[in-house]
């Protein structure tokens, strides 16, 4: 019998996007959905002209968005009133042993505005929601990450 912890994940979906160079370090990202506008990315100076977010900022946005959406999903599933939510993502660079720039750490602080009359449901969501975040759980294996929820 195969151990569920080491088994390859089941493939359940697929999508693709395209990235085309506009000039220098500026790129146009085209998504697989007609209703979604193209996204311009660029590197900050001295490489680029800072005309859009770079890949690190997109990764930080993806982690923050996915964790926020997972907490909203949990709140809705447990019928917990969520009046709003604010998420801050702090991204830290580090150099590897070859001196190459890498993602060193991601710290996420989520500040939801829950209905405080149901503390048991709040606690349950805080304990569970991260497990449903596709992005953070996927990158966590390679990037140290901390997540905290301010209630």
Q: Is the pLDDT of residue 39 over 70?
A: yes
- Return the pLDDT at 7: 65
Instruction: Answer yes or no: is pLDDT of 145 > 90.
Output: no
* Domain boundaries along the sequence of the chain: 16-53, 63-149
Topology (CATH) of 63-149: GMP Synthetase; Chain A, domain 3 (3.30.300)
On the question of pLDDT at 82 being above 80, the answer is yes
User: pTM of the prediction?
Assistant: 0.85
Q: How far is CA 107 from CA 69, 113, 118, 137, 143, in A?
A: 17, 20, 27, 14, 11
Q: If pLDDT is split at 50, 70 and 90, which confidence band does 108 have?
A: very high
* pLDDT for 86 beyond 90: yes
């Amino acid at each position: 019998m195969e151990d569920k912890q080491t088994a390859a994940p089941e493939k359940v979906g697929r999508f693709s996007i395209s990235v085309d160079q506009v000039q220098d370090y500026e790129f146009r990202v085209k998504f697989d959905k007609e209703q979604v506008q193209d996204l311009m990315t660029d590197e900050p100076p001295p490489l680029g002209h800072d005309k859009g977010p770079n890949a690190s900022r997109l990764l930080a946005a993806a982690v923050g968005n996915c964790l926020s959406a997972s907490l909203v999903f949990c709140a809705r599933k447990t019928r917990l009133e969520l009046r709003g939510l604010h998420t801050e993502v702090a991204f830290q660079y580090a150099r590897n042993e070859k001196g190459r720039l890498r993602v060193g750490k991601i710290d996420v602080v989520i500040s939801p505005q829950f209905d405080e009359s149901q503390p048991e449901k709040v606690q349950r969501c805080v304990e569970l929601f991260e497990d449903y975040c596709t992005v953070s759980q996927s990158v966590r294996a390679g990037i140290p990450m901390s997540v905290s929820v301010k209630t």
